Structure 1
Amino acid sequence: MLAGRDTERAAVATLLDSARAGAGGALVVHGLPGVGKSALLADTADTASGMTVLRTRGVESESPLPFAALHRLLHPVLDRVGSLPTPQSRALRAAFGETEDGATDRFLVFLAVLSLLSAEADSAPVLVVVDDAHWLDDASAAALLFAARRVPEESVAVLFGARDADERTFDSGDLPTLELAGIDDAAAAALLTERSGSAVPADVSERLVGSTGGNPLALVELAGILSPAQLTGREPLPAELPLTTGVERAFLDRYRRLPAGAQTYLLVAAADDSGGVDVVERAARALDAPADALEAVERSGLLQEVGDRLELRHPLVRSAVYAAATGRRRRRVHAALAEALTSPADADR
């Protein structure tokens, strides 16, 4: 349920309709943590009918690695690289470590990105979704911004999501922007009711909106923390709501209530950038996490297992858990992950 975002969804739909008509463009969706940027981008990607969707996101641990995010974005269409002009093809292959051509010509890489998107758009309109853009490595950010400014005559839409008030910022320059603010009382009441399973009175909803600024993630977290009696008004809300120090507080409180082994498991998952269950399992076991650690973390709602992948509840889980760890503990986790990466495909990692 994407509550209270009709106006924002309409703005994004206009961008996609223009791209389908051959007049591409870009849009940067930005806002405070938890305000719903990722939800809006995911909803757009899931409902972009008739379009080829290419997705990537910035990952804090990969931000020092040139072209890391770009490689994830273009991986589904790398079979087209051979059709590019030779200088562009060689430059892109060199950037991705597939050749030993020496120094990478960034301008040719940027042109190759644009050429790949254009070629893919010859078959169907393309939607490029880039979440957590504030954590993009600099080279990927530059390449994507270069392409985003040059798609007005292509059937390509580029949609960025970036966090405000973070230690890293996404400098999108002159690209159009869409700021997400908190949702209103009516949307908040609908969201709380949907999450709690019971009708939430207006006075309760208004109090929660006032304390969170209408932050959807904060509201969702409160719906999981407060008792049914408090949410339905049968009991008073606590004088101090559990999110007084910010949205991440809810994640950290939940994380710190986990058993020690489950905390270790979640920290490994936060430090890992592959999302692979096998890698996280091997590293966590090396750090003495018990066999039922994943089950305990899943019960907390901070992480879920989807097939052979692990998905964190929200990007803020990663940053909150990782930032709360000591430097020594982080080093132990990264060392365990390094030992767990036994596949030749992980040599670069």
Structure 2
Amino acid sequence: MESVDVIVIGAGVVGLACARALAEAGRDVLIVEREDCFGSGISARNSEVIHAGLYYPPGSLKARLCVEGRQRLYTYCEQRGVAHARCGKLVVASRSSQLDALQAIAERARRNGVDDLRLLDHAEVAGLEPALDAHAALLSPSTGIVDSHGLMLALLGDAERHSAMLALGSPVTGGSADGDGVVLEVGGETPMTLRARWVINAAGLDAVALGGAIRSAASAQAPQAHFARGVYFSYSGKAPFSRLIYPIPEPGGLGVHLTLDLGGQAKFGPDVEWIERPDYHVDPARAARFAAAIRNWWPALDAERLQPGYAGVRPKIVGPGEADADFRIDGPDRHGVAGLIHLYGIESPGLTASLAIGAQVAELVSG
């Protein structure tokens, strides 16, 4: 049986950020990925938004790691030449009855350390985005967008420069933890059994299942997995906005919003649909619901230009009707099993928080 210092399961943006942080700290790192390429799961099916930290409960991991991660991410992208834009966003109150909700977001953001928000009235909103119909809005200058694939390439490059290795087509099928480390059974063309001093479960949608498959006392503390699909519709032609446009959040997500890619192309989404298992189907008929939601703040929308785009699935650890759960970074201090760290419920703002998550995992490993 071969022995490894650290195995990171999952080569999405969070797994790669963890691998980079650990490798730069002097650890010998092996990244194992089930698919035949990195970043093909959650990391390839999101809005690519750099969140400012407006929505999350003060004191939560989501709030702290989002704000810290956003600062780290902008610096990292500038240093590594990763394409990004600090384009800003508007959170829109379409009617006066939503002003209290808008004020609540502003207060929560302030408590999270976001100190650059501006509350705009109707005239000020119209001056920034003439096509937007809003009673009022919050301007978040720190919100941005990033090339997620370019970011993952940079993270992987950093990890590999510090001797980390990536094994593709290597699904973890099981394992166990004992006092001497963690043993993993890895499938693929050449199945093998590996022993590691540390295993970081950053498997995204499969993290909860792996939490049970790696047999240990920590298995009993694994949450229940739930899946929420969100679909996106692209917009043919140019939309008349230069910033991201968000409505007041809805249960399970942030509402159907407009984001822009780095070329200025608009897309709308995601919505929220609870499903039994990951499924990336996009029903073109959902365009009618999208159009109705978008017209609350863009009455001039040409619905004929909405085209089915893609779908993403959020790895929820709470079900429909329950308050959103915080990130869970379950290390030995929580479950008592040496050498094992499970990352559960790493949904939005996981991309924004990725570098901060990696740094926290490296701190846990360093003791």
TM over 0.5: no
Q: In proportion to residue count, which structure has more helix?
A: 1
Q: In proportion to residue count, which structure has more strand?
A: 2
- Shorter-chain TM-score tier: under 0.3
Q: TM-score, normalised by structure 2?
A: 0.24
Structure showing greater relative contact order (alpha-carbon pairs closer than 8 Å, 6 or more residues apart): 2
Q: TM-score, normalised by structure 1?
A: 0.25
